[in-house]
Amino acid sequence: RGRTVEYEVLIKANFSAKLCATNMVVTVPTPPSATTCRIKVSGAGKAKYDPEGNALVWRISRLQGLQETSLTAVVDLAPMAKPVVWSRPPISLDFQVLMFTASGLLVRFLKVFEKSNYHSVKWVRYMTKAGSYQVRI
């Protein structure tokens, strides 16, 4: 008799609706004995099962601020004579948010000194990129 593992992942964009997160990749680890996976995404993005990496990979190209999206998956496990303890690696998330600084740091003044008469454009582009964002399950 086979066993199953059920996942429900909810992502909330907890920043201004004027901003959006881009290039989001959520990696949800699965047990090594996983055989098949049934995935349903409600909202943004597409998800697939990566058997080589033992993970569900959910890619979201764009998520507007103050929105939420969810993933539900059921993973079937191979029957085993002696169950092996799974270490449960963390769920990881990678993303970018343009024109947002998580620290609140703002550039008020910028002056460029260049000997070759370079004319600078007076515009600053902020980009917040996830470093190591992991959640233990």
Q: Alpha carbon of 97 to those of 31, 53, 78, 122: distances in Å?
A: 31, 27, 40, 21
Which of 1, 59, 4 is closest to 30 using CA atoms?
Answer: 4
pLDDT at 2: 63
As a three-state string, the secondary structure of 42-80 is: ECCCEEEEECCCCEEEEEEEEEECCCEEEEEEEEEECCC
Cα 42 from chain centre? 15
pTM confidence score: 0.80
pLDDT at 131: 73
Q: What is the pLDDT along the chain (137 residues), one digit of tens a residue?
A: 568 999 999 999 998 899 999 999 999 999 998 999 999 999 999 999 999 999 999 999 999 999 999 999 999 998 887 777 888 899 999 999 988 887 788 888 777 777 888 777 777 788 888 777 777 76
pLDDT at 36: 92
Q: Which two tokens stand for residue 17?
A: 């609706």
Q: Which two tokens stand for residue 113?
A: 């000194």
